[in-house]
Each structure stands twice: as structure tokens, then as C-alpha cells.
A and B are shown apart, each in its own frame.
Chain A
């Protein structure tokens, strides 16, 4: 769970503290060889901050609706109408948070804020680790309550209730004293009296002044699954005992499902006292999709992930934990790693201006570094001699690099709109030739040249036979998305493929399609035979069926003269093709794309996919990786140098053994190896066997073996004394 608390500080609000400590650390960790790393670092942190801000926005926008519902529910449940039913039941909100537990803490903190500011008197968040028994549970509740009321009384500045409750407060503050529910109720009444009678905040006016008019006390159980069953049972019983007098609302955070909880945790007599309302938190996966869509694949953020890296961290998300928080961790890692490692990341600025300003004050050293960027090398190689010489000059280089960066910016500003556009067109096609999610499409575009990609071709074949209303729908959506972006570099792209123009054109197509049928009735009759075919087309199962259907459709076309509709469709499609061809180039071919794209998936793997067992095994079988002693080099292929670490020697030997290892043989082998020095191998190993093995060797051997046992490679066995059992698979 502490991971979760960690994520509170990372995930949602406390990033000011974060960035500070980053700057604090950087001096130690940066590579000293190039001068600009400090600036890069600053740049990186601010880029990351931007990303984080926007992710937080998305976060809150997602949760907003659910929060609203919850608040409404709480308000409703405290209305006097419940008084009529005797109010024996405790209003309970079952909040279905997904299984992504690292995010929950953040979620609940936000929820607390939301509820507190709107209606509740005070909100308590309980975690199972505080609630091992009733006493500590009560203690936790009271501590939080008193913390709150401290604020309350300061907020509504009447010290009156303070005086009344003072000695009770003293009692309740005392760590030693045991708290009961009725004490809380009594204290609560004292605190809330003045609030409910006196000048009440606007939102409470409408509620008349019964005991239910008081603001409710909300108690949240963050991770309900982990609560002890008996504690929960008792707690609910207690609450029900006071439910009539105390306006109280429980909020259960449920990661699994209500059925599970109601069966396993809530006993028969407890559940009768609850009146449950279920709320669903936004699922992590759609949250992720939104982040990728709105943050990563936009022109907003200069920093971008290569398709491979993106796929990698998304896989971590999907396969391991649905945790947004850890996804953001990964993203953050990538960003900072990028700015730390990549020298030309200094150019990864939001606006072109900054980049240019940076370029203008490049030093020799910087230039030397930047010239070694491969994409640039490739670029240079592609040019002829004198151009190359021109570039090799610093001035020439600077102007060149300016141009490249400019091109990249231009490219991006059109790339992503086009990408979204294409995704809209293809995401609804049968069998998803270009993937269901936009991230898949992005990955493809990054990996291959999309315009000659098989999927792309097939997609357009399918589009080429889409029915009219589908076409209209698609075109409209495309136009809308294109308009949703803002474009700066209008002059740098020839006009007829400029998105604005494109959207206009698409609209034009749409209009034509719409007014087509009334001005000439002729195409309608073959509309009719168009329709059913398309229906079948949507439902087609196998690719080959599709092919042949398309083929004979084409034949049919050749015979019949094209209808008006088909003409327009042809035009539209061809135009779109050209549009995409223009904008969806592979970014790898552009010089200095490394400035923006982070592509070292190896680093990600190394840092985010920890494989402890592998690490240990490499350490044991090939210590050279960690101890660069030349004599150890050989160990990777078979030979065991005598000066290898004992445990490595023991490990190597035990690798050759079978399932059960005789300790004595093992030790003698160990002894042989450790005592052979180079030169003579087998010859004197004979009498080595004969001679008594000295205590030191024995001690070393024993230590090595016990270390291996500790690492879980061997364990003592009952079957044979003086043997150990091997726990890893033996090759023999």
C-alpha cells in the first residue's frame, strides 16, 4: 500500500516538491562531458510538468461526473424524507474502483476534497492497515475528525462549541483513551449544533432544520477487501445503532465486485443494516486511452514516444497492473531519460522560437555532439559534396539545423491531425486493418511507411465501397477533427493539402452527397442495390470472401457506368489518399527527429521491467558483467577461473550436477578449482583430491553453499543426509 501513498505524492498534487528535489539531485547524476545537460534537465522537468498538468486535467474531468453523483447521493440520503422510514438503514455508497490499487489513494483524496467542500461536515478515510481491530479503527476515525474540526472551528470562527467540547476533546485527543461510537456521536452533536442553527452556508438552506439537516459525517473505507471481516461487522452494527440520530454515510471502495464483498465480507446481520447505492469509477483502460489520445498524440507536447516505447509501456499497463499512476511513472521516466541521454533533446522545445534561440548560442562542443546524431549523418550522406561542406561549417550547420527543426515542427503540426483523421476513417472497418485503437495506428505509422502498408491499402479498398451515409458520417467526423486542431505553419504546406482546405473540401463532398439525390433521381435505383451489398460487407467474416466480393464488385462496376455517388466517393477517397500521403510520412527519415522522439526501449526494459532472477543468474554465471576483471571474461563460455568469486564457482559446479547433489563431491570439485592455478590443470588435481581439504576452503565452500541456499538454488533434503536438492531445472 505504501506504493500507493507514494503515488499520492507523485500522481496528483505534490509535484512542486517533486521538481524541486529533482533539481537538487541533478548535479550529482548528470553526465559531465557535455555542458548543456543542466539546461536540458531544466527543459525536461518543465516539459514533464506540462505533461503532468494536462494529465491531471484529464483525470479530474474524468472523475467529475462520478463525484457529482456521489455528492448528490450523500445529500439526498441526509434529507428528512429518510426520517419517515425510521432511518434504521445506513446509506452506503459502494464505489467500484477498478483493480488498479495504486491509483485509489489519489482517487479517495480527491473524493474527500470534493465531498468536503460541497456538503459533508467531515470526511474520514479509513485504510485497512489502520483497522486491524475496533479500538485502532475508532482511534483512526477520531484522529481524522479532530484534525478536521480544528480547521472547521477556525473557518467558522465561533469558539463556543470549542468551549463546550473542550474537555471531551482533551479526552479524545489522549492516545490512551478508548473511543466508542457514542462518544463520537456526542462530540459530533456538540460540534454541529451551532452550525445547523446559526448562519448556515447557502447550500444547506433548502434543508429544513431537523436533525437530518446537519451536514453528514462521511466515512470512507478505501480498500474494503482488506478489512478484517469481524471488525467490519462490528463497525456496521455500531453505526446502525446510531444511524437514527447521526446523519452518517459510508463509502466503500470496492476493487473487485459487490457480490464478492457482500458474500465474503458482510455477514447476514450486518448487510441488513445497509441501503446500498453503487457508483462506478471510470475504468483505467479508457482513462489510459484518453491520456494517450489527448496528451501523447498531439501537437501540444514537444516530447514524443517512439511507437515501440509507447507499445512497451502500454503493454506493461495492460498485462500487469491497470495502474495509471505507474504508467505516468513510466512516462516520466522516459521523458527525463530522454533529456538526460539525448544530446539534441536540447532542441525539444514547445515553440520553434526557443529552439532557434538555443541554436543561435551553440558552442563548438554542442555542434560536435549534434553532428554525431545518426539521422543527421544519414541526411548529410544523402546530399552531394558541396552541400556537405557547407553544412560542415558551423554557420551552415546552424542554418541547416534550424531548417530541420522547423521542418519537424511543421511536420508534426500536420502529422497528428492526419493521424486522428485516418483513425476515424479506419477504426470502424471490419477486422480493423489499421487497428482498433489509435495507439496501434500510431505504432504502424511509426514502424512502416503507412502509405504502402498492406493494411492501409485494404482499408481504402473497404472505404471505397462504403455506403453513402457511412461515407457522409466519416467525412463529417474527419472535417470536425481537422478543424479541432490549430495550425500555425500555413505557408509551409501547399494549399490543397492544408487541413483547413481539406476540411472545407470534405464538407463540399458531404454537401454534394446530400443534395445529390434530390437534383437527379437516377442514382437512387442503384443506391438500392448498393445498400444490401454494403450490409453484407460489414458482416463479412473471412478476408478471402472480402477479396472476391470486392473483385466481382469491381467487375460489375466496369460493366455498369459509374453513378454520381460513386464518382463523388472516388474523388473523396482519392483526395484523402493524397492528403494522407502528404502528411503521414515516416518520421525516422527526418533529420534530428531524435530531438523529439524517445526510442531507447532497452532503457525502458532495463529500468521498468525488473527481472531479479535473471539478474542473479547472470551475476552468478557471468560475473564479468559486474566485476570487470579480465580473467573473469572466460566465464561466460565454460571455463572457471580459480579467482572467480566462490559463489560463482559453486553455482557453476552445481549447474553440472543432477537433481540431488552430494555435498562432498561438490566440495572436492570446488577445492580442485579454487586451488588450481593456470598452466597445469588435470595433472595435480589428482593429488589435490588426495590431500586433506583445508579448513579455509571448507569454510569458503560452506559459505558459498549457504549463500546459494539463501538465494533459493538449493535446499537440504530429507531423502539423503549430506546431500542437497537442487531447485532449478537441470540441463542434463
Chain B
């Protein structure tokens, strides 16, 4: 049982283990395996690799995709029986599953172990209580040589759900070490790139990102994103592949900036190119600021409605008087008497729900021109709700006094307020 670790770098040990567990195709193996480890550390790919290589009958089903039991079962049966038309295996309870499995097993006249892999197995917990234990006991239930393999990101302890459930044999895929990450990233480098050159690049990438992110997919994305930036000066002929220090100096600011957008996929490769015009000039010292596409263009009154909503949901209702009644003297006094409490700070605790009337009252008092209470105003509120800038609290049927929350962040609202040159901070209780 030798295997090529070249296909999947840094997972030799796990492949070994799996192969030795599966052992000889014909003889019996553990009725259930539980494979867990962090996302994108090669669980699925290794499993597929091994199963393909051993050429044992197997099927892989994705539990997210098979969102009902019947779909799940028929997916299994189709995968094993290998016949292609969709409606063929109709099967919606475990009993039928067992029978059909036996049917398939005999029709294929297997004698070796049959593997059923459940990817994203954590989703099985949302189904009815007995599904998971039943699947784990499949070998015993069908008294056929099945091996059920559950693949998940969560540890097994998250799968206990009250009913007695037998613990499967657990296989852990440890997360990659830094060096392993480097190895893998190099392994899938764009072809036609000198390995050692790329390796150095990767080492820089890891140096910048590894603190914040050890997810292979994200690192891969980032490294692909920035590589062109990295080798732009080389292409431009400014300095050759040799002098690493310059290259490092050149690429680092870009990476630092990319660090601000980790996991956000804010800019794609194209825009990245556009932003730092690296295509023509190789110097990274001129970093254009990211074009801020986050400011939403809102209609005039919507802006004020939003501001009113924000004030309403972050100020206690008791303080409305001092903000909106024109009486400076009293206001100052109360401001001093008010005792701030860290725990009460609503920018820490989150927005409160407020009734519609309160919002409208604030709205009318902050809009200086008098607004006719037309239907359009109210339709705007619902628009804001559909845009999820406001959230309607409580059930839909409470029409007499609907209550809302404002779900935008402080910097968003202050950006909006700035465009109306309205100084919102003066109206926020947390900041007086």
C-alpha cells in the first residue's frame, strides 16, 4: 500500500492512517468513522483520493445539498447503484433505505466494504433525532459490510444530542503548520513561475497574513491576487528576480492594505489592478486610496428618516426632550447630572426598538423645512426596511404601532449625516 504524497502535499500521515484503517477491501472495518478538522485542511480531498485509489465502491453525499431525508437517501442509492435517471430511487424512510441498500448490494454482488461519505455531516444534526445514530449503526442494521464516514469541521462532542449514540472511530486532521502552508501554496503556483522565486513571495505573504488567517483557501486567494503586483517591477525590468529585499519593500504596502480586507473579498483582482496602477509603473509607493463605494446614495428624506431612526434607537426615549426641545439652559444642567455607565452605553449594548411615532417626531424636528405627511414618506420607511437599514421588530400583524430598529453602524450614519451637513454626534446621548 504505497501512495504518492505528491498529489496532496503535507497530508501523507493522514493518507497512511486512512489506508491502514480501510485495510484489505474484503475484510470488515469500523462501522463508522468520524473525520474532523478545520475547514480546507484536506479532509474531503484526501478521502476521495484514498477511496479512488483503493477502487472500493463508495458514494459521497453533501449534507448541505441533500436538504431533506428523502433526497439524502435517494442520493446515496443513486450514487451506489450508479444509474442515472433522477426519479429512479424513491425512498423516504430509513426502513426503505435499508431494504434498497440491500437490493443494491446484492445486485452489484459486492463482497468488499462499501463506503458512504457524509460531507458537512454537522447538518445531519438538524434532522430528526434518530437519523444520525441510525446511520452510524448502518452496518449493524443492514448486517451488510458498510462503513459510514462522517466529515465535519466540528469535534464529535458537538454531535451528542441526548439520544444514546455510539461513538464512531475518530480521525483528526490537524491544521497545517506554517511550513506546510508554504509548501502547498508553492505546489499550486501558476505554471511557468520559478519555484524558488514564488516560494520567497509566499514566505512574505505568510509573514503578513498568518497571524490573522490560516485558512488555505483565503491565503490562496490572496497570494494569487497579489502575485502580479509582486512581479510587476520584475516585468517592468526595474529590478531583477534576485534582489528580494527590494521586492519585499515593493509588495509589503500592498499586502498590508489587503490585510484590511481579509475575508471581505472587497476588491477583486481586476479592481486591484485598477487601484494600484502597477501595470504601467512598477512602484508601489503611490497607493491610491480605495474608491469608497460604501456610501449609499439615498433620497433626501430617506437620509433624514435614517438619521432619525438612528437617534431614536441609540438614545433613551427619556433624553429626547433635552435634545429636541430648544432649551439650552436645562440641557446643560441635565447633561452634567447624567452619570455615564459603561454597561448602559447603547453603542456597546446595541440599538433599542422604538415606535414609529417617536421616529417621526424626531424626523419632523430635525428636518428644517416642513414636510407634508404624504404616503411617500411612509413608503420610504418600508423601503428602508427592505434594504435592511431599518429592521421591523415584532410580528407583521402589529399594524397599529409598528416598532423598528436602526441597523446601520455609527460610521455609516455619520457619513450620511455629513452629506446633509447635520452634526449627528451632538444628538447622541452616548457622546454628550
Contact = CB atoms under 8 A, between A and B. Distances in A.
Q: A–B direct touch, CB within 8 Å, in complex?
A: yes
A41 B219 CA distance: 66
B265 A168 contact: no
Nearest to B376: A320
B26 to A, nearest CB: 30
A99 B387 contact: yes
B360 to A, nearest CB: 11
B375 A610 contact: yes
A274 B221 CA distance: 10
B348 interface: no
A326 to B, nearest CB: 9
Contacts of A269: 39
Contact of B299 (A168, A223, A234, A321): A321
Interface string A353-367: 000000000000000
A712 B378 CA distance: 16
Interface stretch (A179-187, A212-220, A443-451): A179-187
A259 B67 CA distance: 30
Given A86-B188, A237-B120, A322-B297, A277 B270 contact: yes
Contact of B217 (A171, A262, A264, A272): A272
B191 interface: yes
A257 B120 CA distance: 31
Given A182-B75, A226-B386, A613-B373, A135 B67 contact: yes
B209 interface: no
Given A257-B293, A275-B221, A262 B387 contact: no
B380 A321 contact: yes
A614 interface: yes
Contact of B293 (A86, A96, A276, A284): A96
For the residues of A in contact with B, the DSSP-based class is: helix
Interface in A251-307: 255-260, 262, 264, 268-269, 271-278, 280, 283-285
A234 B71 CA distance: 15
Contact of A712 (B86, B269, B400): B400
Interface string A174-207: 0001101111001100000000000000000000
Contacts of B389: 256
B65 A319 contact: no
A283 B297 contact: yes
A102 B387 CA distance: 13
A262 B84 CA distance: 38
A98 interface: yes
Contact of A99 (B191, B221, B299, B376): B299
Contacts of A259: 264, 266, 294
A256 B296 contact: yes
B84 A715 contact: no
B372 A98 contact: no
B265 A274 contact: yes
A333 to B, nearest CB: 15
A262 B266 contact: yes
Contacts of A552: none
A627 interface: no
B70 interface: yes
A658 B260 CA distance: 58
Contacts of B268: 275-278
Interface residues of A, number: 68
B218 interface: yes
A86 B65 CA distance: 21
B234 to A, nearest CB: 21
A537 to B, nearest CB: 26
B64 interface: yes
A321 B383 contact: yes
A151 interface: no
B85 A168 contact: yes
Contact of B86 (A86, A88, A183, A264): A183
Interface in A208-241: 223, 225-226, 234, 237-238, 241
B388 A264 contact: yes
Contacts of A88: 217
A167 B386 contact: no
A268 B263 contact: yes
Given A177-B87, A320-B380, A611 B265 contact: no
Contacts of A268: 263
Interface residues of B, number: 61
B345 interface: no
Interface in B94-133: 119-120
A186 B86 contact: yes
Given A99-B296, A238-B64, A258-B294, A609 B386 contact: no
Interface in B366-384: 372-377, 379-380, 383
Nearest to A187: B86
B403 to A, nearest CB: 15
A167 B85 contact: yes
Interface string B61-75: 010111110110001
B194 interface: no
Interface in B224-272: 224, 263-271
A664 interface: no
A135 B66 CA distance: 10
A614 B265 contact: no
Interface string B32-68: 0000000110000000000000000000001011111
A89 interface: yes
B293 A258 contact: yes
A170 B87 contact: yes
Contacts of B376: 316, 319-321, 609-610
Given A237-B64, A277-B271, A98 B297 contact: yes
B87 A167 contact: yes
A17 interface: no
A238 B266 CA distance: 22
A88 B269 CA distance: 16
Given A238-B62, A241-B64, A320 B301 contact: yes
Contact of A320 (B270, B297, B377): B377
B67 A257 contact: no
Interface string A680-713: 0000000000000000000000000000000010
Contacts of B191: 84
B277 interface: no
A99 B383 contact: yes
Nearest to B399: A712
B215 interface: yes
Nearest to A128: B386
A318 interface: yes
A223 B294 contact: no
Contacts of B264: 259, 262, 271
Nearest to A318: B300
A429 B266 CA distance: 39
B23 interface: no
Given A238-B62, A275-B268, A134 B87 contact: no
A237 B120 CA distance: 10
Interface in A43-98: 73, 84-86, 88-89, 96, 98
Contact of B84 (A186, A611, A612): A186
B350 interface: no
B81 to A, nearest CB: 15
B299 A172 contact: no
A611 B375 CA distance: 6
Contacts of A276: 265-266, 268
15 contacts: A73-B270, A84-B190, A99-B387, A178-B68, A178-B71, A237-B120, A241-B119, A256-B389, A271-B264, A275-B221, A277-B270, A284-B297, A321-B376, A321-B379, A610-B374
Interface of A: 73, 84-86, 88-89, 96, 98-99, 101, 134-135, 167-168, 170-172, 177-178, 180-183, 186-187, 223, 225-226, 234, 237-238, 241, 255-260, 262, 264, 268-269, 271-278, 280, 283-285, 316, 318-322, 609-614, 712, 715
Closest 5 CB pairs of A and B: A171-B87, A320-B376, A319-B300, A610-B375, A171-B86
Given A258-B294, A275-B221, 4 more contacts: A180-B66, A241-B62, A319-B300, A321-B379
